[in-house]
Amino acid sequence: MLAQVSASTRIEAAKFAQLWNEIPIALDMAAQFQKKDDTDLWKRICTDEYMKCAVIECYESFKLVLNAFVAGENEKRALDSN
């Protein structure tokens, strides 16, 4: 017998899938971006709320992974300052 899934759980799963699908699009946008200043790129990303959230979540997750591997306190402070 399969467990029943509530409507709110399905909605959350759909939101997660939407966020997950935005990552390759944001990466492609960044790869094609030619300017030195990334302010315009961030403005373009922020026009899509899901993409903005996906990029922020990805960045924060990557910081957690880096912090797990970094040994020195100076390096950890550098990661935490951004």
**Number of domains comprising the chain:** 1
What whole-number distance in Å separates Cα of residue 41 and Cα of residue 44? 5
First to last CA, the chain: 48
For the entire predicted model, the pTM comes to: 0.67
* Residue at 2 is within a domain: no
pLDDT score for 66: 84
**What would the pLDDT profile of 56-73 be if each residue is shown by its tens digit?**
999 998 888 888 887 777
Range of the domain at 23: 7-80
* Residue at 24 is within a domain: yes
Q: Angle 49-69/7-32 helices, nearest 10 degrees? A: 80
**C-alpha to C-alpha distances, 28 to 2, 13, 35, 50, 81, nearest whole angstrom:** 39, 24, 15, 16, 27
* Residue at 13 is within a domain: yes
**What would the pLDDT profile of 3-61 be if each residue is shown by its tens digit?**
565 666 666 667 777 788 889 999 999 999 988 888 999 999 999 998 999 999 999 98
* Residue at 1 is within a domain: no
